Structure 1
Amino acid sequence: MLADTRHSRILARIDEKGEASVRDLSELLAVSPATIRRDLTVLGDAGRLQRVRGGARAGIGLQEPDERPFHVVAESAHASKDRIARRAAELVADGDIVLLDIGTTTALIARALRGRPVTIVTASVAVLDELRDDSEVELVLLGGTLRRSYHSLVGPITQLALQQMRATIAFVGTSGIADDGTVLDTTVVEVPVKRAIVRSASRVVLVADENKFPGTGLLSACSPEDFHTLVTSENSDPDTLATLTKLGIEVIQV
């Protein structure tokens, strides 16, 4: 098995379980423990996971390769994101319990919901910054380990908290949408949180500007069957949007 293939499978396993031992990975990939230890060292040095005694866990607090800081991402396509956020906020009814994913667009959704009688549940510190002084919104901040580069809380504590939640509607961001509608993400430690959000809401709304087409990302966060509505830009890729429409997903362009 090629090293790149092993690395991808190791990351997928740790993404799924939160952590993995050298022994488990050795049995899973049918290679020696020494090979797994070398692989974990390489991935740890690259910031893809966190090495611990006897194995590894999700690389909490580490910056992913080629990752842009939150403030840089926020400046990209800001006008499109703002339109998407305002339209997405219109899908929320008074009294709703709203789950907001981490990300720059969901932070703008929080801004658009200021003054509304809703409950917002989030692992986004950026959302906290938007709503900390709003007396109308009931804000529930999920626990977890602070990922400073992207103003978010991640890890097993966050996932466990989400298992207790049941939201009316959730808004999920993405680093890219594939041609078949698969929602992708480049950040290993945040994918389990996105998956937990999807499982915790009655209605899931994907928000993505035109730059998220064509999709790129290391891991699949969810499939088209997992979300109900896409709010996106007018000039997003028409072929992908047509595919999603055929799958029965409501597509809203602004």
Structure 2
Amino acid sequence: MGAAHSPAPPPANRRLWVIIGVLAALLALAVIIIGVLWARGAPTPAATGGARPTPSATAAPSIAEPSAPSTGTASPAPGSSAAPGTPRPASCDELYSPEMVAAFGDMVLNPAWLDDPELDMKIGEDDPVLQGVIDANDSLLCQWAKPEGPSGAGVSTTVVWVDAADSATVQAHLADRGDDCFDQQGGLRCTTETFTEEGYFGESHFLRDGIWLATEYSSAGPEGYTLDMVDSLWPEG
């Protein structure tokens, strides 16, 4: 008898092995292509010495909000709310004649130390009705005192621009509290004064044509002080 031969694989099995061989070749080719592309691309983690960075989200550019334009509004001038034709002195210097300034001797107008709020001296601070009218209206504060500091003597005048209603309120209140009120130089004048062992203290009020001159004094004040201001405000008489 001759040598025995192995039977040939059936055709179906032969096709399966051919397909497997083709897929294996394609897979090997794909691995080679990926390796080449990777070598040409980003460096590996080993080459950079750390983990491969991941891209971060790009922050949107910030847009500055436009700032509100400066209004540059200045404080209103004294008496800016006064009725047309009402006297409007821009500063205390316009209130007094040269003779009255000389009569104060060594006292000066608005010395710097009076800017201390704890040493404030003005008419009405002890009278809530008068102070309320002052606070509600445009005003100009003028004070005479020693230049070196408090001495217990001084004169304080607040020029207040008032309407008819506020003027009537002040007049009625001064009369009710017992001030001596009388007509003088086209307006109403009200005064009160007290004498003690420490000196004399008093108030002088003058109301005319939309202006209230409210004065408080302590052991100081030349004769004719209020009427000197009246003459300066209404020089025509």
TM-score by length of 2: 0.24
Which structure has the greater CA radius of gyration?
Answer: 2
